[in-house]
Structure 1
Amino acid sequence: MSYFLAKSQNNRIFSIGLAFSTLILTGGLGTIAQATTLDATAASFAPKGTAATPAQIWQRLNHARWFSQGSGPHIIYLLFDPNCPYCHLLIKELQPLLKPDALTIRYVPVGFLEPSSMGKAAAILEAKNPLQALWENEKGFREKGHDGAIQEILPSAATEKALKNNLSILEATGQKTVPTMLYRNSQNQAQIVWQLLSPKNLAQTLKGLQ
């Protein structure tokens, strides 16, 4: 089972795990909502009056700072923080689906969860091989400490600007939540996902990507 954890003291919301039923924690146990399809989940958690439509977010991401894995025709944008344990789980969960579902994953780093997040995101972006740097971060990820393994650096001015832009795109979705995924469905409509599904529903949805 996965959970949605809300920390009221710093207004940070984390999507946890990949079995994708949801538990809202606000100091105690809340209600459990069973997800059914990725589109339905995204719709149920869509905030009212978001600053930008999914299509507008998609266009902004096309010009954001990201790096990719895979060469399939089905594109997923994944906004992640290097210190996010749930991003760590999602990245692992997507790996066996990469080739079967002909995916291209465009990783969009942000840095806001912890004081070291910006420096670690910068270390990934400024690496000669950002994807390899991501694996370094994930391979040594310390789940108990919510701590990515890559060593943080002082970002260059250009990288700091890019990371702030990436974060502004995340905020424009209406929820400052990681991981956040975007994809195009079979009708070529952009969808934003703040919450995740069961592996079965995730697999079914990925097969229907544009």
Structure 2
Amino acid sequence: MRYLLPSLTLGLAAALPALADEHWPAPVEALTEQGLTIHGEFEGPAGLTGYGASHSAGEVAIYLLPGGEHAIVGTLVDAEGNNLSEPALDKHVRAAQFAEVWQDLEASHWIADGNPDAERIVYTFTDPNCPYCRQFWQEARPWVEAGEVQLRHIMIGVLASDSPAKAAALLGADDPAAALHAHSGDGEEIEAGPQSREVEEQVYANNQLFDSLGFMATPTTLFRDGDRVDRIEGVPSPERLEEAMGGPAP
């Protein structure tokens, strides 16, 4: 099953660029007054004009009927049952969401695990007290050790009272990658000693990002699937692990 980050809309819909048009057809204008934001206009089948829109709970397609007096909100399908609205929403609404999410991940505070020149980058939110994060670390070894994937562990502290301090200890280590390897691979416990204010703020910022994206489980892993950003919450199934890593284990 593919997850298309529905929760991301909650944090990003308001930030997405809207079309600057004060002359919408009356039905579309009425919908904007009810809280929808229009992000793109497209040509639909059978003379319909489509609009990619978003609201606080997700994305939606609007279809203006010929004559411009009526509009339908929902999913358009063809004779074979193919969803014709999803590609338009991907292009006109979600593409900007996904791009912004990926930029936020890149700008977060993470520990690199693997080849810096790896063709595939995978981000994962990691809590030092999360046994499932350790399990995912182990299961990803074939791809990481082969140099095909670089995991970027966005260190957060959400599971226990000492999680933020442990996350800060890993981020603030002299060699964060080695410290994470010792913790996740060798099972060494982390000494949650005092860290600089800068490092503590990095953990806080990561926690804020985790919350703003609507995530709850650790690990939560994000990767590119074509033009989309896909996510896995918890330890991936074998099939989903291959999707995240970009193919079968080398």
- Taking structure 2 as the reference length, the TM-score comes to 0.58
Where does structure 2 lack aligned partners over 5 or more consecutive residues? 13-96
Q: Structure 1 residue aligned with 2:149, among 98, 103, 121? A: 103
**What's the CA shift for 1:172?**
1.6
Higher helix share: 2
Quick check: which has more Rg, 1 or 2?
2
1:79 has 2:148 as partner = no
**What's the CA shift for 1:197?**
3.5
Q: Name the % identity.
A: 27
Q: Give yes or no for contact 1:139–1:149 (8 Å, CA) kept in 2.
A: no
Q: Distance in 2 between matches of 1:70 and 1:54?
A: 24
**What's the CA shift for 1:89?**
0.6
**What's the CA shift for 1:58?**
1.4
Q: Distance in 2 between matches of 1:168 and 1:118?
A: 12
Calculate the aligned-residue CA RMSD, in Å.
2.3
Q: Give yes or no for contact 1:124–1:133 (8 Å, CA) kept in 2.
A: yes
Which segment is superposed worse, 98-107 or 113-122? Answer: 98-107
Cα deviation code 1:117-173 (max 9, x no counterpart): 1111111111111011112222454xxxxxx71111123110111111111111121
Cα deviation code 1:6-36 (max 9, x no counterpart): xxxxxxxxxxxxxxxxxxxxxxxxxxxxxxx
Q: Give yes or no for contact 1:110–1:121 (8 Å, CA) kept in 2.
A: yes
Alignment of 1:35-114 (within 5 A): 37=1, 40=2, 42-43=3-4, 46-47=6-7, 49-52=9-12, 53-71=97-115, 72-100=118-146, 102-114=148-160
Give 3-state SS (helix, strand or coil) of 2:11's partner. coil
Amino acid at match of 2:134: H
1:182 aligned partner: 222
Matched length:
161
**What's the CA shift for 1:194?**
1.9
Give 3-state SS (helix, strand or coil) of 1:161's partner. helix
Q: Give yes or no for contact 2:126–2:133 (8 Å, CA) kept in 1.
A: yes
Q: Give yes or no for contact 1:76–1:104 (8 Å, CA) kept in 2.
A: yes
1:118 aligned partner: 164
**What's the CA shift for 1:191?**
2.0
1:194 has 2:233 as partner = yes
Q: Give yes or no for contact 1:101–1:206 (8 Å, CA) kept in 2.
A: no
Which segment is superposed worse, 112-121 or 188-197? Answer: 188-197
